Chain A
Protein backbone atom coordinates (compact mmCIF):
# COMPACT_ATOMS: atom_id res chain seq x y z
CA UNK A 1 0.00 0.00 0.00
CA UNK A 2 1.26 3.46 -0.88
CA UNK A 3 1.86 5.59 2.18
CA UNK A 4 1.96 8.84 0.25
CA UNK A 5 -0.43 11.43 1.66
CA UNK A 6 -3.61 12.19 -0.22
CA UNK A 7 -4.54 15.80 -0.79
CA UNK A 8 -7.61 17.69 -1.96
CA UNK A 9 -6.90 19.84 -5.01
CA UNK A 10 -10.39 20.68 -6.26
CA UNK A 11 -13.76 21.58 -4.76
CA UNK A 12 -17.18 21.92 -6.36
CA UNK A 13 -20.76 22.29 -5.16
CA UNK A 14 -24.24 23.36 -6.10
CA UNK A 15 -26.52 23.65 -3.09
CA UNK A 16 -29.54 25.39 -1.60
CA UNK A 17 -27.14 28.15 -0.52
CA UNK A 18 -25.37 28.79 -3.84
CA UNK A 19 -24.61 27.56 -7.33
CA UNK A 20 -20.92 27.04 -6.58
CA UNK A 21 -18.50 26.59 -3.68
CA UNK A 22 -17.73 30.23 -2.98
CA UNK A 23 -21.34 31.45 -2.98
CA UNK A 24 -22.36 28.46 -0.84
CA UNK A 25 -19.58 29.11 1.68
CA UNK A 26 -20.29 32.84 1.82
CA UNK A 27 -23.99 32.19 2.43
CA UNK A 28 -23.14 29.62 5.10
CA UNK A 29 -20.92 32.05 7.00
CA UNK A 30 -23.51 34.80 6.58
CA UNK A 31 -26.07 32.57 8.30
CA UNK A 32 -28.47 32.41 5.38
CA UNK A 33 -31.01 29.60 5.16
CA UNK A 34 -31.77 27.56 2.05
CA UNK A 35 -35.10 26.36 3.42
CA UNK A 36 -38.50 27.42 2.11
CA UNK A 37 -42.08 26.21 2.16
CA UNK A 38 -43.44 24.29 -0.81
CA UNK A 39 -46.42 26.08 -2.32
CA UNK A 40 -47.46 23.51 -4.94
CA UNK A 41 -51.00 22.16 -4.65
CA UNK A 42 -49.90 18.61 -3.91
CA UNK A 43 -48.30 19.61 -0.61
CA UNK A 44 -51.60 20.58 1.03
CA UNK A 45 -52.20 17.16 2.62
CA UNK A 46 -48.61 16.78 3.81
CA UNK A 47 -47.65 17.23 7.46
CA UNK A 48 -44.12 18.30 6.45
CA UNK A 49 -44.08 21.00 3.77
CA UNK A 50 -40.51 22.29 3.82
CA UNK A 51 -37.67 21.87 1.39
CA UNK A 52 -34.21 23.23 0.68
CA UNK A 53 -34.22 23.68 -3.09
CA UNK A 54 -31.19 24.48 -5.21
CA UNK A 55 -30.36 28.17 -5.31
CA UNK A 56 -29.40 27.89 -8.99
CA UNK A 57 -31.24 25.68 -11.45
CA UNK A 58 -28.89 23.28 -13.27
CA UNK A 59 -30.63 24.28 -16.51
CA UNK A 60 -28.85 27.64 -16.12
CA UNK A 61 -25.50 25.88 -15.85
CA UNK A 62 -25.75 23.11 -18.44
CA UNK A 63 -26.42 22.97 -22.17
CA UNK A 64 -30.13 22.28 -22.81
CA UNK A 65 -29.77 19.12 -24.89
CA UNK A 66 -27.23 17.67 -22.48
CA UNK A 67 -29.47 18.46 -19.51
CA UNK A 68 -32.55 16.78 -20.97
CA UNK A 69 -30.75 13.41 -21.06
CA UNK A 70 -29.71 13.65 -17.42
CA UNK A 71 -31.82 13.13 -14.34
CA UNK A 72 -31.72 16.12 -12.00
CA UNK A 73 -29.44 14.17 -9.64
CA UNK A 74 -27.05 13.69 -12.56
CA UNK A 75 -27.28 17.33 -13.66
CA UNK A 76 -26.20 18.62 -10.26
CA UNK A 77 -23.48 15.99 -9.99
CA UNK A 78 -22.06 17.16 -13.32
CA UNK A 79 -22.26 20.83 -12.30
CA UNK A 80 -20.41 20.20 -9.01
CA UNK A 81 -17.89 17.82 -10.58
CA UNK A 82 -17.01 20.18 -13.41
CA UNK A 83 -16.41 23.00 -10.92
CA UNK A 84 -14.13 20.75 -8.83
CA UNK A 85 -12.32 19.55 -11.95
CA UNK A 86 -11.70 23.12 -13.16
CA UNK A 87 -10.62 24.15 -9.68
CA UNK A 88 -8.06 21.32 -9.53
CA UNK A 89 -6.50 22.09 -12.91
CA UNK A 90 -6.07 18.32 -13.34
CA UNK A 91 -7.77 18.45 -16.73
CA UNK A 92 -4.93 20.55 -18.13
CA UNK A 93 -2.18 18.55 -16.43
CA UNK A 94 -2.03 15.75 -18.98
CA UNK A 95 -3.12 13.00 -16.58
CA UNK A 96 -3.52 9.65 -18.36
CA UNK A 97 -7.31 9.03 -18.62
CA UNK A 98 -6.66 5.40 -17.63
CA UNK A 99 -5.43 6.74 -14.28
CA UNK A 100 -8.46 8.98 -13.60
CA UNK A 101 -11.29 7.48 -11.54
CA UNK A 102 -14.67 8.74 -10.36
CA UNK A 103 -16.64 7.85 -7.23
CA UNK A 104 -20.02 9.58 -6.91
CA UNK A 105 -22.54 8.32 -4.40
CA UNK A 106 -26.27 8.91 -4.19
CA UNK A 107 -28.82 7.89 -1.61
CA UNK A 108 -31.88 7.59 -3.82
CA UNK A 109 -30.69 7.79 -7.44
CA UNK A 110 -32.86 8.98 -10.32
CA UNK A 111 -36.12 9.11 -8.39
CA UNK A 112 -37.56 12.02 -10.39
CA UNK A 113 -37.05 10.12 -13.63
CA UNK A 114 -38.43 6.88 -12.20
CA UNK A 115 -41.54 8.58 -10.88
CA UNK A 116 -41.97 10.90 -13.86
CA UNK A 117 -41.71 8.09 -16.38
CA UNK A 118 -44.11 5.99 -14.31
CA UNK A 119 -46.59 8.83 -14.80
CA UNK A 120 -45.94 8.67 -18.56
CA UNK A 121 -46.48 4.92 -18.49
CA UNK A 122 -49.78 5.25 -16.64
CA UNK A 123 -51.07 8.09 -18.80
CA UNK A 124 -49.77 7.27 -22.27
CA UNK A 125 -48.63 3.65 -22.24
CA UNK A 126 -45.31 1.82 -22.56
CA UNK A 127 -44.43 3.12 -26.02
CA UNK A 128 -44.17 6.67 -24.71
CA UNK A 129 -41.65 5.90 -21.97
CA UNK A 130 -38.39 7.70 -22.72
CA UNK A 131 -35.50 5.64 -24.12
CA UNK A 132 -33.33 7.50 -21.60
CA UNK A 133 -35.36 6.22 -18.62
CA UNK A 134 -32.92 3.55 -17.50
CA UNK A 135 -29.67 5.54 -17.78
CA UNK A 136 -31.41 8.43 -16.03
CA UNK A 137 -32.74 6.42 -13.10
CA UNK A 138 -29.84 4.07 -12.40
CA UNK A 139 -27.99 5.00 -9.20
CA UNK A 140 -24.61 4.75 -10.96
CA UNK A 141 -25.87 7.27 -13.52
CA UNK A 142 -24.43 10.35 -11.79
CA UNK A 143 -21.00 8.72 -11.51
CA UNK A 144 -21.18 7.62 -15.14
CA UNK A 145 -22.22 11.09 -16.35
CA UNK A 146 -19.35 12.67 -14.41
CA UNK A 147 -16.93 10.08 -15.74
CA UNK A 148 -17.92 10.94 -19.30
CA UNK A 149 -17.65 14.62 -18.56
CA UNK A 150 -14.06 14.51 -17.31
CA UNK A 151 -12.92 11.60 -19.48
CA UNK A 152 -12.23 9.14 -16.65
CA UNK A 153 -11.32 5.65 -17.83
CA UNK A 154 -9.69 4.32 -14.68
CA UNK A 155 -12.98 3.18 -13.12
CA UNK A 156 -16.30 4.79 -12.26
CA UNK A 157 -17.95 3.77 -9.00
CA UNK A 158 -21.15 4.56 -7.14
CA UNK A 159 -21.39 3.76 -3.45
CA UNK A 160 -24.94 3.65 -2.13
CA UNK A 161 -25.31 3.92 1.65
CA UNK A 162 -28.22 6.33 2.08
CA UNK A 163 -27.11 9.55 3.76
CA UNK A 164 -23.54 8.30 4.16
CA UNK A 165 -23.09 7.82 0.38
CA UNK A 166 -21.25 11.09 -0.25
CA UNK A 167 -18.80 10.47 2.59
CA UNK A 168 -18.39 6.88 1.51
CA UNK A 169 -17.38 8.11 -1.94
CA UNK A 170 -14.64 10.22 -0.36
CA UNK A 171 -13.41 7.18 1.54
CA UNK A 172 -13.38 5.04 -1.59
CA UNK A 173 -11.34 7.72 -3.34
CA UNK A 174 -8.76 7.60 -0.57
CA UNK A 175 -8.57 3.82 -0.86
CA UNK A 176 -8.16 3.92 -4.65
CA UNK A 177 -5.23 6.31 -4.34
CA UNK A 178 -3.58 4.37 -1.51
CA UNK A 179 -3.92 1.16 -3.51
CA UNK A 180 -2.43 2.94 -6.53
CA UNK A 181 -5.49 2.13 -8.64
CA UNK A 182 -5.57 5.70 -9.95
CA UNK A 183 -3.59 8.94 -9.88
CA UNK A 184 -6.52 11.35 -9.69
CA UNK A 185 -9.95 10.55 -8.25
CA UNK A 186 -12.97 12.80 -8.46
CA UNK A 187 -15.30 11.96 -5.56
CA UNK A 188 -18.62 13.32 -4.42
CA UNK A 189 -22.27 12.87 -3.71
CA UNK A 190 -25.52 13.96 -5.27
CA UNK A 191 -29.23 14.03 -4.55
CA UNK A 192 -32.32 15.53 -6.13
CA UNK A 193 -35.51 13.81 -5.04
CA UNK A 194 -37.91 16.58 -4.08
CA UNK A 195 -41.12 14.90 -5.19
CA UNK A 196 -44.40 13.89 -3.52
CA UNK A 197 -43.39 10.24 -3.03
CA UNK A 198 -40.07 10.63 -1.16
CA UNK A 199 -41.64 13.49 0.82
CA UNK A 200 -44.53 11.21 1.79
CA UNK A 201 -42.18 8.35 2.64
CA UNK A 202 -39.97 10.42 4.91
CA UNK A 203 -43.03 12.06 6.45
CA UNK A 204 -44.52 8.63 7.14
CA UNK A 205 -41.35 7.81 9.09
CA UNK A 206 -41.98 10.99 11.12
CA UNK A 207 -38.46 11.99 10.14
CA UNK A 208 -39.20 15.47 8.75
CA UNK A 209 -39.74 18.77 10.46
CA UNK A 210 -43.33 20.00 10.47
CA UNK A 211 -42.43 23.54 11.49
CA UNK A 212 -44.14 24.68 8.29
CA UNK A 213 -44.78 28.27 9.36
CA UNK A 214 -41.12 28.96 10.11
CA UNK A 215 -39.12 27.43 7.25
CA UNK A 216 -35.81 29.06 8.10
CA UNK A 217 -36.05 27.97 11.73
CA UNK A 218 -37.11 24.38 11.02
CA UNK A 219 -33.72 22.68 10.70
CA UNK A 220 -32.31 23.07 14.21
CA UNK A 221 -29.76 20.37 15.04
CA UNK A 222 -29.09 19.80 18.76
CA UNK A 223 -31.85 22.25 19.73
CA UNK A 224 -34.40 21.14 22.31
CA UNK A 225 -37.26 22.00 19.92
CA UNK A 226 -35.92 20.11 16.88
CA UNK A 227 -38.53 17.94 15.21
CA UNK A 228 -36.93 16.39 12.14
CA UNK A 229 -34.88 17.15 9.05
CA UNK A 230 -35.62 19.29 6.00
CA UNK A 231 -35.09 17.57 2.65
CA UNK A 232 -32.50 19.32 0.49
CA UNK A 233 -31.11 18.84 -3.00
CA UNK A 234 -27.70 19.42 -4.52
CA UNK A 235 -24.28 17.94 -5.08
CA UNK A 236 -20.67 18.40 -4.02
CA UNK A 237 -17.40 17.07 -5.37
CA UNK A 238 -13.72 16.91 -4.44
CA UNK A 239 -10.64 16.09 -6.48
CA UNK A 240 -8.18 13.84 -4.65
CA UNK A 241 -4.59 13.12 -5.59
CA UNK A 242 -1.43 11.82 -3.98
CA UNK A 243 0.56 14.69 -2.55
CA UNK A 244 3.78 13.99 -4.45
CA UNK A 245 2.15 14.14 -7.89
CA UNK A 246 -0.09 17.08 -6.94
CA UNK A 247 2.94 19.06 -5.78
CA UNK A 248 4.93 18.01 -8.83
CA UNK A 249 2.35 19.59 -11.12
CA UNK A 250 2.09 22.69 -8.94
CA UNK A 251 -1.51 22.12 -7.89
CA UNK A 252 -3.09 24.25 -5.19
CA UNK A 253 -3.75 22.08 -2.15
CA UNK A 254 -6.86 22.91 -0.14
CA UNK A 255 -6.24 20.31 2.58
CA UNK A 256 -5.15 16.74 3.17
CA UNK A 257 -7.45 13.78 3.42
CA UNK A 258 -5.55 12.15 6.26
CA UNK A 259 -7.77 9.21 7.10
CA UNK A 260 -11.13 7.55 6.78
CA UNK A 261 -13.08 4.67 8.22
CA UNK A 262 -16.48 3.06 8.01
CA UNK A 263 -18.48 0.87 10.34
CA UNK A 264 -21.96 -0.60 10.59
CA UNK A 265 -24.15 -0.24 13.64
CA UNK A 266 -25.54 -3.77 13.46
CA UNK A 267 -28.40 -2.45 15.54
CA UNK A 268 -31.48 -1.43 13.54
CA UNK A 269 -32.40 -0.84 9.91
CA UNK A 270 -33.07 2.88 10.35
CA UNK A 271 -32.67 3.92 14.00
CA UNK A 272 -29.14 4.85 15.05
CA UNK A 273 -27.62 3.11 18.04
CA UNK A 274 -28.76 5.41 20.88
CA UNK A 275 -25.23 5.81 22.29
CA UNK A 276 -23.73 6.21 18.82
CA UNK A 277 -21.58 3.13 19.36
CA UNK A 278 -20.99 2.41 15.66
CA UNK A 279 -20.45 6.09 14.90
CA UNK A 280 -17.85 6.36 17.66
CA UNK A 281 -16.05 3.28 16.33
CA UNK A 282 -15.92 4.92 12.89
CA UNK A 283 -14.45 8.13 14.27
CA UNK A 284 -11.89 6.28 16.39
CA UNK A 285 -10.86 4.11 13.44
CA UNK A 286 -10.55 7.15 11.16
CA UNK A 287 -8.31 8.90 13.69
CA UNK A 288 -6.14 5.80 13.93
CA UNK A 289 -6.03 5.64 10.12
CA UNK A 290 -4.87 9.25 10.06
CA UNK A 291 -2.30 8.67 12.80
CA UNK A 292 -3.89 11.35 14.96
CA UNK A 293 -5.15 11.44 18.52
CA UNK A 294 -8.45 12.97 19.67
CA UNK A 295 -6.70 16.08 21.00
CA UNK A 296 -5.45 16.86 17.48
CA UNK A 297 -9.00 17.35 16.25
CA UNK A 298 -10.21 20.93 16.51
CA UNK A 299 -13.46 20.80 14.57
CA UNK A 300 -16.24 18.38 13.72
CA UNK A 301 -18.72 18.99 10.94
CA UNK A 302 -21.47 16.86 12.40
CA UNK A 303 -24.03 14.83 10.49
CA UNK A 304 -26.70 16.25 12.85
CA UNK A 305 -29.85 16.19 10.75
CA UNK A 306 -32.14 17.74 13.38
CA UNK A 307 -33.95 14.51 14.22
CA UNK A 308 -34.63 13.89 17.93
CA UNK A 309 -32.79 10.54 18.13
CA UNK A 310 -29.98 11.06 15.64
CA UNK A 311 -28.48 14.20 17.12
CA UNK A 312 -28.13 12.86 20.65
CA UNK A 313 -26.63 9.61 19.40
CA UNK A 314 -24.06 11.61 17.47
CA UNK A 315 -23.30 13.87 20.43
CA UNK A 316 -22.53 10.72 22.44
CA UNK A 317 -20.26 9.44 19.67
CA UNK A 318 -18.35 12.71 19.32
CA UNK A 319 -17.82 12.93 23.07
CA UNK A 320 -16.67 9.35 23.48
CA UNK A 321 -14.42 9.24 20.40
CA UNK A 322 -13.00 12.79 20.46
CA UNK A 323 -13.98 14.70 23.60
CA UNK A 324 -15.53 17.98 24.63
CA UNK A 325 -12.83 20.26 23.28
CA UNK A 326 -13.86 20.22 19.58
CA UNK A 327 -15.83 22.99 17.93
CA UNK A 328 -18.89 21.36 16.45
CA UNK A 329 -20.90 22.69 13.50
CA UNK A 330 -24.18 21.33 12.16
CA UNK A 331 -24.43 22.97 8.76
CA UNK A 332 -27.67 21.19 7.83
CA UNK A 333 -29.27 23.91 9.93
CA UNK A 334 -28.87 26.08 6.81
CA UNK A 335 -28.50 23.69 3.87
CA UNK A 336 -31.16 21.18 4.84
CA UNK A 337 -30.32 17.50 4.48
CA UNK A 338 -28.87 16.65 1.07
CA UNK A 339 -29.00 12.89 1.80
CA UNK A 340 -26.45 11.24 -0.49
CA UNK A 341 -24.74 14.56 -1.15
CA UNK A 342 -24.47 15.53 2.52
CA UNK A 343 -21.18 13.82 3.30
CA UNK A 344 -19.49 15.35 0.27
CA UNK A 345 -20.83 18.84 0.92
CA UNK A 346 -19.89 18.70 4.59
CA UNK A 347 -16.42 17.50 3.62
CA UNK A 348 -16.14 20.64 1.51
CA UNK A 349 -17.22 22.69 4.54
CA UNK A 350 -14.72 20.94 6.83
CA UNK A 351 -11.95 21.58 4.32
CA UNK A 352 -12.88 25.26 3.99
CA UNK A 353 -13.02 25.58 7.78
CA UNK A 354 -9.45 24.29 7.94
CA UNK A 355 -8.27 26.41 5.05
CA UNK A 356 -9.91 29.61 6.28
CA UNK A 357 -9.49 28.84 10.00
CA UNK A 358 -13.11 29.59 10.76
CA UNK A 359 -15.85 27.35 12.09
CA UNK A 360 -19.39 27.89 10.75
CA UNK A 361 -22.17 28.48 13.26
CA UNK A 362 -25.09 26.13 13.81
CA UNK A 363 -28.21 28.11 12.99
CA UNK A 364 -31.36 27.88 15.12
CA UNK A 365 -29.56 26.42 18.13
CA UNK A 366 -31.37 28.47 20.73
CA UNK A 367 -31.78 26.01 23.58
CA UNK A 368 -29.41 23.06 23.41
CA UNK A 369 -31.03 19.73 24.21
CA UNK A 370 -31.00 18.71 27.88
CA UNK A 371 -29.07 15.59 26.91
CA UNK A 372 -25.80 15.55 28.89
CA UNK A 373 -23.66 14.95 25.81
CA UNK A 374 -25.23 17.81 23.85
CA UNK A 375 -24.79 20.06 26.89
CA UNK A 376 -21.12 19.14 27.18
CA UNK A 377 -20.18 19.78 23.55
CA UNK A 378 -18.94 23.14 22.29
CA UNK A 379 -21.42 23.61 19.44
CA UNK A 380 -20.66 26.87 17.66
CA UNK A 381 -23.72 29.10 17.43
CA UNK A 382 -24.58 32.71 16.82
CA UNK A 383 -21.61 33.73 14.69
CA UNK A 384 -18.89 31.69 12.97
CA UNK A 385 -15.89 31.33 15.25
CA UNK A 386 -12.26 32.01 14.38
CA UNK A 387 -10.02 29.21 15.60
CA UNK A 388 -6.60 27.71 15.07
CA UNK A 389 -7.33 24.38 13.46
CA UNK A 390 -5.02 21.66 12.20
CA UNK A 391 -7.43 18.75 11.83
CA UNK A 392 -11.17 18.30 11.35
CA UNK A 393 -13.56 15.37 11.24
CA UNK A 394 -16.65 15.00 9.07
CA UNK A 395 -18.94 12.20 10.06
CA UNK A 396 -21.92 10.88 8.10
CA UNK A 397 -24.51 8.26 8.91
CA UNK A 398 -27.12 6.56 6.77
CA UNK A 399 -30.29 4.54 7.15
CA UNK A 400 -29.05 0.97 7.24
CA UNK A 401 -26.62 1.69 10.06
CA UNK A 402 -23.80 3.01 7.84
CA UNK A 403 -21.21 5.19 9.60
CA UNK A 404 -18.39 6.97 7.81
CA UNK A 405 -15.82 9.27 9.39
CA UNK A 406 -13.32 11.32 7.42
CA UNK A 407 -10.31 13.19 8.80
CA UNK A 408 -8.94 16.23 7.04
CA UNK A 409 -5.83 18.19 8.00
CA UNK A 410 -4.44 21.53 6.89
CA UNK A 411 -2.30 21.60 3.76
Chain B
Protein backbone atom coordinates (compact mmCIF):
# COMPACT_ATOMS: atom_id res chain seq x y z
CA UNK B 1 0.00 0.00 0.00
CA UNK B 2 1.35 3.37 -0.98
CA UNK B 3 0.54 6.49 1.02
CA UNK B 4 -1.20 9.45 -0.60
CA UNK B 5 2.11 11.25 -0.63
CA UNK B 6 3.83 8.30 -2.31
CA UNK B 7 1.09 8.09 -4.91
CA UNK B 8 1.31 11.80 -5.65
CA UNK B 9 5.06 11.72 -6.12
CA UNK B 10 4.90 8.50 -8.13
CA UNK B 11 2.24 10.01 -10.37
CA UNK B 12 4.36 13.14 -10.75
CA UNK B 13 7.27 10.98 -11.97
CA UNK B 14 5.01 9.34 -14.55
CA UNK B 15 3.71 12.71 -15.73
CA UNK B 16 7.23 14.01 -16.14
CA UNK B 17 8.32 10.96 -18.10
CA UNK B 18 5.28 10.75 -20.38
CA UNK B 19 4.27 14.35 -20.84
CA UNK B 20 7.14 16.49 -19.62
CA UNK B 21 5.17 17.94 -16.70
CA UNK B 22 7.40 19.57 -14.09
CA UNK B 23 6.90 17.53 -10.86
CA UNK B 24 6.14 20.63 -8.77
CA UNK B 25 3.23 21.38 -11.12
CA UNK B 26 1.58 17.99 -10.61
CA UNK B 27 -0.62 19.08 -7.70
CA UNK B 28 -4.06 17.56 -6.95
CA UNK B 29 -6.21 20.45 -8.21
CA UNK B 30 -4.59 20.49 -11.66
CA UNK B 31 -6.64 19.34 -14.65
CA UNK B 32 -4.74 17.03 -16.98
CA UNK B 33 -6.08 18.59 -20.18
CA UNK B 34 -6.67 22.20 -19.08
CA UNK B 35 -3.64 22.84 -16.90
CA UNK B 36 -1.01 20.25 -17.79
CA UNK B 37 -1.59 19.97 -21.55
CA UNK B 38 -1.85 16.17 -21.37
CA UNK B 39 -3.72 14.87 -24.43
CA UNK B 40 -5.94 11.80 -24.64
CA UNK B 41 -3.24 9.54 -26.10
CA UNK B 42 -0.88 10.52 -23.30
CA UNK B 43 -3.61 9.69 -20.76
CA UNK B 44 -3.61 6.15 -22.16
CA UNK B 45 0.16 5.97 -21.63
CA UNK B 46 -0.23 7.33 -18.12
CA UNK B 47 -2.82 4.66 -17.31
CA UNK B 48 -0.40 1.96 -18.45
CA UNK B 49 2.40 3.43 -16.36
CA UNK B 50 0.11 3.66 -13.32
CA UNK B 51 -0.70 -0.03 -13.68
CA UNK B 52 3.02 -0.85 -13.81
CA UNK B 53 3.90 1.32 -10.83
CA UNK B 54 0.95 0.81 -8.48
CA UNK B 55 -0.65 -2.39 -9.79
CA UNK B 56 -3.90 -0.52 -10.37
CA UNK B 57 -5.57 -0.98 -13.74
CA UNK B 58 -7.76 1.91 -14.90
CA UNK B 59 -10.50 0.71 -17.28
CA UNK B 60 -11.33 3.01 -20.21
CA UNK B 61 -14.73 4.01 -18.78
CA UNK B 62 -13.05 5.07 -15.52
CA UNK B 63 -10.21 6.87 -17.33
CA UNK B 64 -12.73 9.28 -18.82
CA UNK B 65 -13.82 10.31 -15.29
CA UNK B 66 -10.30 11.14 -14.16
CA UNK B 67 -10.00 14.85 -14.86
CA UNK B 68 -7.49 16.04 -12.29
CA UNK B 69 -4.33 14.80 -10.63
CA UNK B 70 -6.40 14.52 -7.44
CA UNK B 71 -8.94 12.26 -9.23
CA UNK B 72 -6.10 9.95 -10.24
CA UNK B 73 -4.62 9.89 -6.76
CA UNK B 74 -8.01 9.01 -5.22
CA UNK B 75 -8.64 6.30 -7.80
CA UNK B 76 -5.27 4.67 -7.17
CA UNK B 77 -5.70 4.96 -3.40
CA UNK B 78 -9.12 3.32 -3.48
CA UNK B 79 -8.20 0.50 -5.83
CA UNK B 80 -4.69 -0.46 -4.77
CA UNK B 81 -3.61 -3.61 -3.01
Contact = CB atoms under 8 A, between A and B. Distances in A.
Interface of A: 63-65, 127-128, 130-132
Interface in B39-56: 41-42, 44-45, 48
A317 B19 CA distance: 51
B20 A131 contact: no
Contacts of B48: 127-128
Interface of B: 18-20, 41-42, 44-45, 48
A132 B20 CA distance: 16
14 contacts: A63-B20, A64-B20, A65-B18, A65-B19, A65-B20, A127-B48, A128-B48, A130-B45, A131-B41, A131-B42, A131-B44, A131-B45, A132-B41, A132-B45
Nearest to A130: B45
Contacts of A65: 18-20
Contacts of A130: 45
A65 B38 CA distance: 11
A236 to B, nearest CB: 28
Contacts of A131: 41-42, 44-45
A66 to B, nearest CB: 8
- Closest 8 pairs between A and B when the two form their complex, measured CB to CB: A65-B20, A131-B44, A131-B41, A132-B41, A131-B45, A65-B19, A128-B48, A130-B45
Contacts of A63: 20
A73 to B, nearest CB: 19
A105 to B, nearest CB: 26
Contacts of B41: 131-132
A75 B22 CA distance: 23
Contacts of B45: 130-132
Nearest to A127: B48
A2 B9 CA distance: 60
Given A65-B19, A130-B45, 8 more contacts: A63-B20, A65-B18, A65-B20, A127-B48, A131-B41, A131-B42, A131-B44, A132-B41
A11 B19 CA distance: 31
Contacts of A128: 48
A127 B58 CA distance: 12
Nearest to B41: A131
Contacts of A64: 20
Contacts of B44: 131
Task: From A63, A128, A130, A131, name the one whose CB has the most chain B CB atoms within 10 angstroms.
Answer: A131
A131 B44 CA distance: 7
Nearest to B45: A131
Nearest to B19: A65
A132 B41 CA distance: 7
A64 B22 CA distance: 13
A65 B44 CA distance: 15
B62 to A, nearest CB: 15
B59 to A, nearest CB: 11
A130 B46 CA distance: 11
A261 to B, nearest CB: 41
A41 to B, nearest CB: 27
A5 B42 CA distance: 45
Nearest to A128: B48
B19 to A, nearest CB: 6
A128 B44 CA distance: 10
Contacts of B18: 65
Contacts of B20: 63-65
B21 to A, nearest CB: 9
A200 B18 CA distance: 33
A110 to B, nearest CB: 15
A130 B18 CA distance: 12
Contacts of A132: 41, 45
Contacts of B19: 65
A132 B46 CA distance: 12
B52 to A, nearest CB: 9
A130 B45 CA distance: 7
Nearest to A124: B48
A127 B60 CA distance: 11
A128 to B, nearest CB: 7
Nearest to A135: B41
A65 B41 CA distance: 13
B68 to A, nearest CB: 20
A369 B20 CA distance: 55
A330 B29 CA distance: 60
A131 B60 CA distance: 13
